[in-house]
Amino acid sequence: MTAKLSSKPFLRVLSGEALDPPPIWMMRQAGRYLPEYREVRANTSSFLDFCYTPDAAVEVTLQPLRRYGFDASILFADILVIPDALGQKVEFKEGEGPVLEPIRDAAGLDRLNLDGVLDHLAPIMETVRRLSQEIPATTGLIGFAGSPWTVAVYMVEGRGRTDGERARDWAYRAPDEFARLMDILVDATSRYLIAQAKAGAEVLQLFDSWAGVLSAAHFRSLVIEPTRRIVENVKAAMPDTPIIGFPRQGGVMIPEYVEKTGVDGVSLDHSVPLEWAVATLPKKCVLQGNLDNRLLVVGGEAMDHAIDQILTATRGRPFVFNLGHGIVPQTPPENVARAMKRIRGEQAD
């Protein structure tokens, strides 16, 4: 069956159809804002072990589907499983987020090992296989990875919440060395995404959450080019699996990103005017986004109004409703329910 004849609204849109209302999923739809997630999480040891435990990962992936009936489900894992699989020390600390033993020189690169990546990540492929059996027949299944630049920021800085200063300095000071890191990540990420697609992921998303901190020249060499290579590798193995890119805060570079990477869709952060995106980006590129995640915290009429504007701006265009960035832990779950009703044109409670 081709995607066009699919009973899944999410896949129909990714094959170029415009649907009204649009299909909906939300970045970080599984997570701490849900009490049922916190309960499962409380019974697991480390966050990475949680990601590598198919029973737990399948359960928390399904939780937001049961509650809200999203049109797509995203595999529960994290972008930092790649450095972990390459042999870098990765930990998630309570209240602090990810902490890695930073890599800042050629000797650090020498210690990374591509050989064991897929074996290390085998439990995640098991989660994908089980999800493809267990999700509702009308729900799409998304696999994902971090893009090389964003993953490199964590690998080099050793933590999040930076502007990638050390990574940018390294890329300027020793471009050949930094290119080696990009090559390793392109290779590991391509293999990982192909394995997810073979295990049953129907769409793949590449998260480049730190794309917005780069100069235009580095955006080209560290965001666009590595993404283009991954898209090429994945398409060579799995030509029918659509790929969505998320070059967060890419601004005026987004059209070039879409044109040169070959992604099938682009996820837009909340700073992008959708009227501009609709007018500027090629028709064959599916748009996704871009409600400000703070509006899910605030709720009420401010949220309703922004939802209506998004729907108006994108009507008639293949579009997937999403946020501009992930759901935050303070989000009241009832605001997500209200947003779903508003988007689907159903009566609010």
Residues at the site binding ligand CP3, with contacts judged by CB under 6 A: 27-32, 41, 47, 74, 76, 78-80, 92, 97-98, 144, 160, 207, 209, 325-326
Torsion 311-281-203-1 (CA) sign: positive
What are φ and ψ of residue 268, in 5° steps? -105, 135
Active site annotation includes 154: yes
Active site annotation includes 168: no
Find the catalytic residue in 71, 78, 208, 264. 78
Residue with smaller CB distance to ligand CP3, 46 or 309: 46
Q: How many residues does the chain have?
A: 349
Residue with smaller CB distance to ligand CP3, 32 or 317: 32
Burial of 197 (0-12, 13-18, 19+ CB in 10 A): buried
Residue with smaller CB distance to ligand CP3, 80 or 313: 80
Active site annotation includes 78: yes
Residues 91 and 95: their CA atoms lie apart, in Å, by 12
Active site annotation includes 41: yes
- Least gap, CB of 308 to ligand CP3 (angstroms): 25
Residues 142 and 154: their CA atoms lie apart, in Å, by 23
- Least gap, CB of 79 to ligand CP3 (angstroms): 4
Find the catalytic residue in 33, 154, 192, 257. 154
- Least gap, CB of 68 to ligand CP3 (angstroms): 12
- Least gap, CB of 152 to ligand CP3 (angstroms): 12
- Least gap, CB of 107 to ligand CP3 (angstroms): 25
**H/E run at residue 209:** none
Residue with smaller CB distance to ligand CP3, 19 or 99: 99
Q: Is 267 helix (H, G, I), strand (E, B) or coil?
A: strand
Residues 223 and 327: their CA atoms lie apart, in Å, by 24
Residues 141 and 316: their CA atoms lie apart, in Å, by 24
Active site annotation includes 28: yes
Residue with smaller CB distance to ligand CP3, 91 or 304: 91
Torsion 145-150-153-159 (CA) sign: negative
Residues 334 and 341: their CA atoms lie apart, in Å, by 11
Find the catalytic residue in 41, 67, 166, 317. 41
Give the residue numbers marked as catalytic.
28, 32, 41, 78, 154
